[in-house]
Amino acid sequence: MEAAPRTSNEKAGVTPLLTFSILSSFLKIHDKMKAAAMTLKKLAVDDPRRVRHSLKVGLTLTVISVFYYVKALYSGLGQSTMWAVLTVVVVTEYTAGATLYKGLNRVIATLLAGALGLGAHRLAALAGNDGKSVLLGVFVFLLAAMVTFSRFVPEIKARYDYGATIFILTFSLVSVSGYRVEELIGLAHHRLSTVAIGVAACMATSIAIFPVWAGEELHNLVASNLDTLASFLEGVGKEYFEQKLESHKNLEGASFLIGYKSVLNSKAMEDSLANFARWEPGHGQFGFRHPWKQYLKIGALARQCACSMQSLNGFISATEKSEALTNSEFQQNIKTACAVMCSESGKALAELASAIRDMRPPTAAAGHLGNAATVGSQVKMMGPSETTTVEEVLLYATMANLLLEIVHGAKHVADAVVQLANMAKFKHAEEAKSGVAKHNGDGESLHVVIDTKLLFNYLSFDHPLNQQGGVLHNTK
């Protein structure tokens, strides 16, 4: 049975559907392109150095391409000119230190591997045609295995890992090529020359044209992390401890409560920047032997403070959800003391961050830490009131102790910053050192622990809490 022919109405209905589908597809493509353009614009606006870096890479590749376009230059190097282009692509990095690290590693590794490859080729030639390939295979196996194993050494892994990889690659290529290529010395010379040309071009553009220094990035990162910790303490002191319980607002999701997480995750970045900074020449206020390792020490101490802040944040969240807490005198006394410790510790960390950023001694930090330690010592004298519950004592005693640990950690950070000022020869560094000693009992620890004797007595079986229906008598 033949199908019925389509009516004019059916044919007319296909065209609008097809047109709508095409328009919908174009709109989707337009929206995606617009979103991509906005993302690229945001990247450029947030850090214009990214645009400059991209232009520098394009400029370097264009300059190296001249060796291909000019016949006189190309005839001198031949097909090995491509190695210069490849070197630019793999060596150029965002920071000058990273470019110097990879460039110098590549040149030195290519030189050593080329020389050893030529030597291995000469030794293998003594064995005749039959034993030549066997000896070359043995040499490749031994050197590749030894250099690969050396990459597990932490010092070599941190500073020469890329060079070890290039060494294995170059030695293998030279050794294997020597079995078929007669002009091996010319091949090794051309390869080393083109690699050196590419590295020189990368280093020139990275250092001479709008350089981005890894040392400066590390310097600013450490200062920014301390600012983040200061914001946490100042925010907790104002928004939590200084608020009355009746008017206390919900802090869940507050930005200052989660900022410390970026500090906890900064170790890999700090290690990488410190490694690259050691390859950089002196620039700006940073000398060639600037104590970059001291920044890693400050970063580690900052992360210890961030760990205590993470625990403190957990207890703050617990009080947000607790319904058993009342606005007792004990609670208000503890919160008042904690507010002062938060404020003073936050000001101290902010001063330390500013001192690092400005490369000056942290003269004002010692006074703030001394105030925080004084208030912390007064916390020991606080006892629970008659209406205080066990939950309040446990919660606020632990919270105060965590805050005292933060004060203790901030003191260690201050000591490390003073050491940095001495090592980097900041102005008046000795004055800052004496100031810390003055406010800190001649260098003694600022750590003060909660006197747990009251707490243990509070929880004992013969305490009035267990004898009088949960009512505490004031121990004062």
Among 107-111, 152-156, 253-257, 369-373, the range scoring the smallest mean pLDDT is: 253-257
Name the token pair of 288.
């060639």
Does residue 138 sit within a domain? yes
pLDDT above 50 (res 453): no
Which is more confident, 253 or 6? 253
Quote the domain boundaries for residue 435: 214-467
Please tell me the predicted confidence (pLDDT) of residue 173: 83
The mean per-residue pLDDT over the stretch 181-194 comes to 75
Confidence band (pLDDT; 50, 70, 90) for 442? very low
φ, ψ dihedrals at 245, nearest 5°: -60, -35
Phi, psi of 286 (to 5 degrees): -105, 120
Task: Indicate whether 189 and 234 sit together in one domain.
Answer: no
Classified as helix, coil or strand, 283 is: strand
**What is the spatial distance between Cα 298 and Cα 356, in angstroms, rounded to a whole number?**
11
pLDDT of residue 100: 95
Q: Which two tokens stand for residue 104?
A: 């110098």
- 185 and 219 part of one domain: no
Q: What is the pLDDT of residue 377?
A: 81
* CATH label of the domain that carries residue 238: 1.20.58
321 and 451 both lie in a single domain: yes
> What pLDDT digit, counting tens, does each position of 204-248 carry?
999 999 999 999 999 999 999 999 999 999 988 888 777 644 444
Residues 260 and 173 in one domain: no
Let me know whether 201 and 218 are in one domain: no
% of the chain surpassing 90 pLDDT: 37
Query: Can you list the positions of beta strands (E) in 198-282?
Result: none
Q: How many domains does the chain have?
A: 2
**Exposure string (b/e) for 258-296, b if CB count within 10 Å is 16 or more?**
ebbeebeebeeebebbbbbbbbbeebeebeeebbbebbb
* 265-299: pLDDT as tens digits: 999 999 999 999 999 998 888 888 899 999 999 99
Residue of 321 and 298 predicted with greater confidence? 298
Is the same domain home to 133 and 198? yes
More confident residue, 376 or 435: 376
Q: Is residue 164 part of a domain?
A: yes
- The reported pLDDT for the residue numbered 75 is 73
| Residue 10 lies inside a defined structural domain of this protein | no
Q: Which residue has the higher pLDDT, 379 or 54?
A: 54
Question: Which of 130-134, 268-272, 321-325: highest mean pLDDT?
Answer: 268-272
The pLDDT, as a whole number, for residue 333 is 80
- Mean pLDDT, residues 366-378: 87
> Are 277 and 426 within one domain?
yes
pLDDT band at 396 (very low <50, low <70, confident <90, very high): confident
Average pLDDT for residues 394-400, to the nearest whole number?
80
Domain presence at residue 22: no
- Tell me, yes or no, whether 184 and 251 share the same domain: no
Please provide residue 443's backbone torsions phi and psi, each rounded to the nearest 5 degrees: 90, 0
Q: Is residue 159 part of a domain?
A: yes
- Encoding tokens for residue 372? 């925080």
Q: 3-state DSSP helix/strand/coil percent for the chain, to nearest 5?
A: 75, 0, 25
Looking at per-residue confidence, does 360 or 176 come out higher? 360
- d(CA 297, CA 176) in angstroms, rounded, equals 46
pLDDT of 369 > 80? The answer is yes
Q: Are residues 277 and 195 in the same domain?
A: no
Q: How confident is the model at residue 464 (pLDDT cuts 50, 70, 90)?
A: very low
pLDDT band at 182 (very low <50, low <70, confident <90, very high): low
